[in-house]
Amino acid sequence: MRLYHTSELIIKNPDIFHGRKNADFGQGFYLSKDYDFCRRWSLNEAFINEYELDTGGLDIIELSRNREWFEYIFGNRRLNDTIKADVIIGPIANDTIYDTFGIISSGYLSTDEALKLLMIGPEYTQVVLKSEKAGQQLKWLDAVQVHSDEDIKALLKAEEEEYQQAFADCMQSF
């Protein structure tokens, strides 16, 4: 499986225990199958690291944008990582997830309403290496340095404006 990771650094030997424990899929090394998506994350000077993952013998779980995915992310935000696997593949939660979970905790939104909010916007997939075994089967291939791009900034701005409008419309429906 060909994968990419955007960073300010060239990362030949990623550490799966370096990242945040309360990320979407818990602690691990986050990658994407989508080079263009990784390019979008490189708004300043950055490197897009390219890897090949040998999936043989790995326990891989794939999630869809649904209630199971939502509950898994919600648990991880509370440091309750319930899925044990070498690799987890699934949708990236949109940037409002912290606010959405806060609104749920306050009792303002039901779980179903929050899930509806998290379905707004484009769906991008992340691949997370969760075990040392998976890390050992990841081979660094190359790193390409990329620079800030006005076209990408404009695309992100337009996408954000569209997302904010859809989010506001959805909130008004509750």
Q: Quote the pTM value.
A: 0.85
Write down how long the chain is. 174
How far apart CA 95 and CA 33 sit, in angstroms, is 20
User: Smallest Cα–Cα separation from 70: which of 89, 96, 97?
Assistant: 97
> Helix (H, G, I), strand (E, B), or coil: what is residue 156?
helix
More confident residue, 105 or 23: 23
> For residue range 115-145, what is the model confidence (pLDDT) as tens digits?
888 888 788 899 999 999 999 999 999 999 9
Confidence of residue 100 (pLDDT cuts 50, 70, 90): low
> For residue range 72-89, what is the model confidence (pLDDT) as tens digits?
988 887 788 888 999 999
Output DSSP code: residue 94.
P
What pLDDT shows up at residue 116?
83
CB distance 138 to 67 below 8 Å: no
Domain ranges of the chain: 2-172
What pLDDT shows up at residue 128?
97
Cα 78 from chain centroid (whole Å): 17
Output DSSP code: residue 23.
S
